Structure 1
């Protein structure tokens, strides 16, 4: 279980949102909502140990998130796509699987790229693809990941209706298998498909 207690994050010495306390258990999907500038991205970065926590705590199964065990259980896709632009789409997925120690074969990599609509672009350097296509290369990891904890910043941005449906289905599969997902989105997703817990950030009115 991921547990957040009285969490506060600051920017320019000002609190971004009111203190947060919540828990996310296996098989749960949580959507973080809030206005632009309310601190959604900062919150996600704090949940994975990439942003400083001013007050409060974030723990996984009662232990610090600043451990190799937590990082080994985590798949984080942030606001930036996080791909190597000099590598092709298929090479990026190979690199990611090797880096995380996930099992893979080339067929599974090609299947993941097909699901995200990149058939025919597997061998093109990612730097030559559009931002939306680069984003889809990153999202293809979701069909390859063994990590139970997914933290995703705006995963539904820049994908078409077919992509949204595929991603919704993958979310449900992951949750039903005991995984947990925390994500941000400006749209309502998984409507009537899965019970999504929503956490709304209440900004402090500083921005």
Structure 2
């Protein structure tokens, strides 16, 4: 389980939000919402350890993640605005490289299956420089399937994906939560209402200015 305790995040000298408490148990699908500048991307970056916290702590299974960073990192997958892919490599080569960073060696068949599941059958050996933005995003989403992490931290995962891809990704997020996973994400895409989908509104945690 992921939990955030009294979390505050700043950008420069400006505090984006504070006193944020959240528990994200297994089976959670949590969308972070709020206006531009509310700190949605900053929150996800802080949870992933890419941005320092001004206050509070992030816990994994009740333990501060700073006490055992490597164990926490092994349990989440992060997808930011940039997909973190190498343009000169093919989807297969990118997956092999990214999985090696996690000390994993999937079989060729497993990588083919992951790429097929995200609609990239026939493009497995095409360098990314020749693929569209949406196809590159699908390679990054195939990585999520390969890593099999319980916690997904996704910043605008629907970016550049076509209509059919949006439907498939919504299904993927729900399936992950349904199987006991956790998803913390932002999106400007209007999600289909469901029993799993919850919202974390950052406007409730804005710093109150003195009048």
TM-score (norm 1): 0.90
Match of 2:20 in 1: 20
Structure 2 Cα separation of the partners of residues 156 and 100 of structure 1: 24
Match of 2:168 in 1: 166
Q: Which runs of 5+ in 1 are unaligned?
A: none
| Cα deviation 1:152-198 (Å, max 9, x = unaligned) | 11111211222122212222222222211101111232423x42120
Q: Relative to 1, partners in 2 of residues 1:10 and 1:102: Cα closer, same or farther, differing over 3 Å?
A: same
Task: Determine helix, strand or coil for the equivalent of 2:94.
Answer: helix
Structure 2 Cα separation of the partners of residues 128 and 8 of structure 1: 41
Match of 2:41 in 1: 41
Match of 1:4 in 2: 4
TM-score (norm 2): 0.88
Do 1:9 and 1:17's aligned partners in 2 also have CA atoms closer than 8 Å?
A: yes
Structure 2 Cα separation of the partners of residues 140 and 190 of structure 1: 22
Structure 1 Cα separation of the partners of residues 27 and 94 of structure 2: 28
Match of 2:200 in 1: 199
Q: CA RMSD in A?
A: 2.0
Do 2:4 and 2:23's aligned partners in 1 also have CA atoms closer than 8 Å?
A: yes
Aligned residues: 205
Residue 194 (structure 2) pairs with residue 177 (structure 1): no
Q: Which runs of 5+ in 2 are unaligned?
A: none
Task: Determine helix, strand or coil for the equivalent of 1:98.
Answer: helix
Structure 2 Cα separation of the partners of residues 190 and 147 of structure 1: 24
Match of 1:118 in 2: 120
Do 1:3 and 1:22's aligned partners in 2 also have CA atoms closer than 8 Å?
A: yes
Structure 1 Cα separation of the partners of residues 122 and 78 of structure 2: 26
Structure 2 Cα separation of the partners of residues 175 and 132 of structure 1: 24
Residue 50 (structure 2) pairs with residue 50 (structure 1): yes
Structure 1 Cα separation of the partners of residues 208 and 155 of structure 2: 22
Structure 1 Cα separation of the partners of residues 100 and 41 of structure 2: 27
Query: Could you tell me how far 1:77 is from its partner in structure 2?
Result: 0.8
| Cα deviation 1:111-169 (Å, max 9, x = unaligned) | 22223222332212223323322221111112222211110111112112221222122
Query: Could you tell me how far 1:205 is from its partner in structure 2?
Result: 9.7
